[in-house]
Amino acid sequence: MKVPPLVLDLRVVSPRRRRPVRLWLPLFLLWPLALVLGALALLVAIFVDGVLLARGRRYHHYTVLLVRSCAVLCETRGTVIRFSNETTAVDMTVH
């Protein structure tokens, strides 16, 4: 089951600072707005695909593109990114 990401946790550690910088972003608060905008975009994509298909254009797959983009966004859940160099270490986790 594909579930969209709920929280983004970002931590930046620098040896010059005493405490690491932590940022916790509650992405679940953005999902109601994204749902409304996504539904409108889906309706527009369906309409555009229908018009392009009726006019005989070659590419009329914007609806499929939009749906698969949402699927890729849902697959980002569980992503962990870590990198560091001599001055900074960054950890980002998508829950």
pLDDT tens track for 71-94? 999 999 999 999 999 889 999 999
Query: What's the whole-model pTM score?
Result: 0.77
Residues 91, 83: Cα–Cα separation, whole Å:
7
Range list of β-strands (E), the chain: 7-13, 21-26, 80-84, 89-94
From the CB of residue 33, how many other CB atoms can be counted at a distance below 10 Å? 9
Inform me whether the pLDDT recorded for 56 exceeds 80: yes
